[in-house]
Amino acid sequence: MPTLPLFLGLLLLLLSLHTVPASIAAKDNDTLLPGQALAVGEKLVSSNGKFALGFFQPGAAGNISKSSTSPGWYLAIWFNKIPLLTPVWVANRERPIAGPDLRATQLQISGDGNLVVVVSNQATQSVVWSTDIANNSSSRPSNMTTSAAVLLGSGNLVVQVQDPSPSKSNAVLWQSFDDPTDIALPGAKIGWNKVTGLNRVGVSWRSRTDPGLGAFSVGLETNGTRRVMVSRRVHPSKVYWSWSPDSSPMQIPALKALLRMNPQTRGLVVPVYVDNDEEEYYMYTSQDESSSTFLSLDTSGQTKMNVWSPADQAWCSIYVQPVDPCRPYATCGPFAVCTGSSNQPCECMETFSRTSPPDWELGDRTRGCSRSTPLDCSGNRSSSSASTDVFHPMESVTLPYGPQSVQDAATRSECERACRSNCSCTAYSIQGSKCSVWHGELFSVNKNDSIEISAEDTLYIRLAAGDFPTAASRGTRRPSVAGAAIAASVAGFGLLMLIMLLLLLMISRNRFNWCGGASSHATGHGTVGVVAFRYSDLCRATRNFSEKLGAGGFGSVFKGVLSDLTSVAVKRLDGTRHQGEKQFRAEVGALGQIQHINLVKLIGFCCQGDNKRLLVYEHMCNGSLDSHLFQSKGRTVLDWRTRFQIAIGVARGLSYLHQSCRECIIHCDIKPENVLLDEAFVPKIADFGLASVVGRDFSRVLTTFRGTMGYLAPEWLSGVAITSKVDVYSFGMVLMEIVSGRRNAASADHTSGSYCVAYFPVQAISKLHEGDVQSLVDPELRGDFSLDEAERVCKVACWCIQDSESDRPTMGEVVRVLEGLQELDMPPMPRLLAAITDSSNVEFNV
């Protein structure tokens, strides 16, 4: 039997298209020794079989491909057992190996102990890549005999001393973890060595098929600030996202909490920070050796924590920063506009075109866009009248990087004149009396996207007059008398028709919306009948906001009575001006367009100044659902019939939002606190402050992390685009609480620094499979409930909380099942819950 590996090695040698000094024995398939070589088509495999080292050529999707748009071949490490080939480290990033050189390419240990990639042409050898440790005498023991390369089970490739003494450990001379590319594996450090000065900085790929040095980098600042910086690689570099526990103490704890609360990632990813006399670094560890994870910096400038899903046979991003793809500096290149909520976020400015369309298709947009028509300006012109260029307005955008202030220009015309007088000036903007101009290329112009970017500025970009003939001739042509008469006639006729239309509209409604002394305005969202209140009227209605009904993340709610004795709930938006405006637009825009018996009715609003933004709702005399389910004192115990009707009512309201509105509205924060009950305990969904509106042409919306812990769908952790199925997941969690009459995570006992919680969804699906639904129902009902309806609700709830959004039903299907019009099979155990079914308790640190 010992001859079998030798036979296989010889057979591989005979079949090879190139000659190697010696084949690699099977028993040493994770090690490359002096005198051995690794050729194209061969690979080293780590002892645990998880990683492989070899030569590859990136394809259009990052896979090995014999015919590819990649510039060449590379030495790389990748996941060995995952079908989707994913390189985690690349050696010769800037020196790809051309196809004709493949037969003569080898990886070997050189005579001076370096690991090198060489191309042998006739009598000459050229080194394509080297570990470059031959001259580093400080890292080489004086009694060193030889060195070898070993691919460890962690994915780290090390060059180490081969000491013949079994009692001595082999010193590491070089390791790939110290020479990162775009990916960090568990155990790899992002940081620096204070003794040697080594700073580990990751750099993104140039494109999806080119591992060359890309546009973005990530590393730890070495001045003691503990700041991790993600930057655009320009001179000087532009930092667009950073984190430090000193400046943002909540971010990493929040991430840790999310990872702990998700059974799929609980214990899988553990962040670590170390700062001692020798080193300062961040890294993460994984307690599950069978899992495959990596932290990447992709070509768009976003950092992502990725986990391999065996069920989906795909990489899943469980954490993304920054969430908005437009946040990275110049992510779309010069003269481009970024819209984070779009499926294709980057587009060229008007009259510009892509400089290199093939690069755009591969994710490399560093060259951005170019003018289709040259400007009518040259360096020897100094008069503003010498150029016929026009300035085209781009509204509601962020202003580009690198503005220059013009002191003597306080009006738009003066600002434009200042820009026109300089041939290098490409754009200007005026804010109040402040004039800003830009010279050369324009970077990082972003549109409002309801994710992280809110922009209200107008940028005037300089364009060739030939692209806008109407605008160019506007100042030279005078309308004729006949033309003016015709224009006046058309305008007068249009005004008359508008007045008639308004009169017909008021007659059809048969009333004006006067209430409490308020003036009847439309909200600007097409919501005729939503009343615009004066702040003084609402102060009087609420007795100067004296009776507080509750508070939320965006404001407090007060009880009020209007002049016609209508009881209302007045929500006063708190927080910063930016948050208030965003909240105000979201809630008025969403609720002003919808009317449904199971949705709280928006009566009116107030908008006076920055700090006087209020929303006026119909008042729900029975409060919120949580007060009847969870409060131990003074609560009204809801009977089963009421609970069942509440479940159906909430489902109908969500179904209306998702499927019956003009645009799909995702609530984003379904929980018992946001279900209000009227005098007949009819449920009404409230608090649309976090809602996202999705056009009917799109099925997803990219949005910032939001919602309430305990009701969050797994996809919230990824930071990628969501669907209405996040509401379905939250609704399933609410159903569990309606059935049990208690929180899904209920405290069991307290210990020092932590507490244990019994996670009810685990118990619910287990009991459902066992046919023991009765034990799940709230004991306060004393057995007075319909077993058939309870089982139906539990089935729906368990289908709603499935891991994959495609496995969850729509809210329309939920309504039909709850009403008994459609049947459901027994739901499977969600993978997230399966991870904790062996234990009755889940522990969370606080």
Q: Are 148 and 159 in contact (CB under 8 A)?
A: yes
Within 8 A by CB and 6+ apart from 491, the residues are: none
Q: Are 173 and 140 in contact (CB under 8 A)?
A: yes
Q: Which structure tokens are listed for 523?
A: 């909200």
d(CA 525, CA 693): 13
d(CA 234, CA 330): 10
| Catalytic site residue from 669, 687, 778, 803 | 669
d(CA 735, CA 772): 17
Q: Which structure tokens are listed for 601?
A: 């009715």
d(CA 231, CA 245): 18
Q: Which long-range contacts (CB under 8 A, 24 or more apart) does 636-639 make?
A: 637/741, 637/780, 637/781, 638/681, 639/781, 639/784
Find, among 93, 311, 137, 280, the residue nearest to 195 by Cα. Answer: 280
Strand boundaries in 322-455, DSSP class E: 336-338, 346-348, 352-354, 369-371, 390-397, 404-406, 425-431, 434-439, 445-446
Helices within 247-330 (DSSP H only): 251-261
Biggest CA-to-CA distance, the chain = 105
Q: Is residue 669 annotated as part of the catalytic site, yes or no? A: yes
DSSP class of 658: I
Count of CA atoms in the C-beta half-sphere (13 A) of 104:
16
d(CA 485, CA 293): 72
d(CA 316, CA 308): 6
d(CA 298, CA 790): 47
Find, among 562, 615, 574, the residue nearest to 592 by Cα. Answer: 615
DSSP of 301-316, one letter per residue? S-EEEEEEETTTTEEE
Strand, coil or helix: 667: coil
Helix (H) or strand (E) holding 509: helix 481-509
d(CA 23, CA 6): 9
C-alpha to C-alpha distances, 204 to 216, 303, 362, 552, 595, nearest whole angstrom? 5, 10, 14, 41, 49
**Residue type at position 730:** S
- Sign of the alpha-carbon dihedral angle for 708, 712, 716, 722: negative
State yes or no: 571 annotated in a binding site.
yes
Q: Which structure tokens are listed for 498?
A: 């508008």
Q: Please give the annotated binding residues for ATP, written as ranges.
A: 571
Which residues are known catalytic residues? Answer: 669
Q: Please give the annotated binding residues, written as ranges.
A: 571
